[in-house]
Amino acid sequence: MKINKISFLARFFCILFFILAVNFNANASSITPIAIEINDTVKVNSITYTNDSKFEVLVQANQKLWTQENGKDKYTETSDLLIVPSFVKIPAGQKQVFRVTKRDKNESQFKAYRLALEDVSEEVGDALTENQVANMRFRFDHNLPVYFYPTSAKKSSYKIPTMSLCDEKVGTERQACLRIQNEEPMHVKVEDILIKVQNQRTTIVPTFLTVLPKSYKDINISIPRVAQPVTIEAKTSFGPASITLPVQYTQK
């Protein structure tokens, strides 16, 4: 009897998962591209919002100025960007193009923003009945970076970011604070961090972060307890950056 109950529950959750998966795909939306840059060559960018759901969506555009202070991201209110339309209704299965530009294109300093395209549609719960599980509604918000670069930021090559310990102590949970410093006038992307120990398998830590120009980011990373140096390497858009931790850090 117990086995039958478990089997019934397993079948029930499989069916529920299938319903939710089908419904999730039917309610999806997407945008292209996922990042834009405004410069002297490209003054106006286009973003295509695709509503693949079976519901009409109401999309509102919001913007924040994006800076990095003390190794952390900071977002503040701004109206620097001109986004058209800023508020629009997109029918099911249709696409909408948003135009994005900067109000003041004569600025000489780099600036970064986060542009959010938010689904602000009203709840549709009142239109559903108990038998309309497959009509559940999901909301999707999209948040993409917008970079404004003056001509002076463009170079043929960029210096690889430096890596250092932002805290000289490794805690009891084997966490080390790692600082990635970008001295260039262009933002740098960090994709993966590799932890290398001699004669052992390399550990790959998936990492997706951006370090803005003349800024740094602090991240915590687990350090293995070994009686030998450990090399930490970050794959960046400017090339590989690395730091080697001596034995006094790794064997504690």
**Residue 145's pLDDT is what?**
96
Question: Looking at residue 245, what is its pLDDT?
Answer: 84
Residues of the chain with pLDDT under 70: 1-27, 123-137, 152, 168-174, 248-252
Tell which residue, 212, 221, 227, has the closest CA to residue 242.
221
Per-residue confidence (pLDDT) for residue 4, from 0 to 100: 53
What Cα–Cα distance (Å) separates residue 221 from each residue in 189, 212, 224, 231? 17, 20, 10, 12
Nearest CA among 210, 209, 200 for reference residue 231: 200
pLDDT of residue 124: 43
Task: Write down the pLDDT at residue 210.
Answer: 96
Structure tokens at 172: 């009891």
The 10s digit of each residue's pLDDT in 57-79 is 999 999 999 999 998 999 999 99
SS3 26: helix
Q: 128-176 pLDDT, tens per residue?
A: 444 444 456 677 789 999 999 987 677 778 999 999 988 765 555 567 7
Residue 1: per-residue pLDDT: 47
Can you list the domains of the chain with their CATH numbers?
2-153 (2.60.40.10), 162-250 (2.60.40.10)
pTM score: 0.78
Distance CA(155)–CA(34), nearest Å, equals 23
DSSP bridge partners of 40: none
The set of long-range contacts for 71-78, using a CB threshold of 8 Å and a minimum separation of 24, is 71/166, 71/179, 71/216, 71/217, 71/218, 72/217, 72/218, 75/114, 78/113
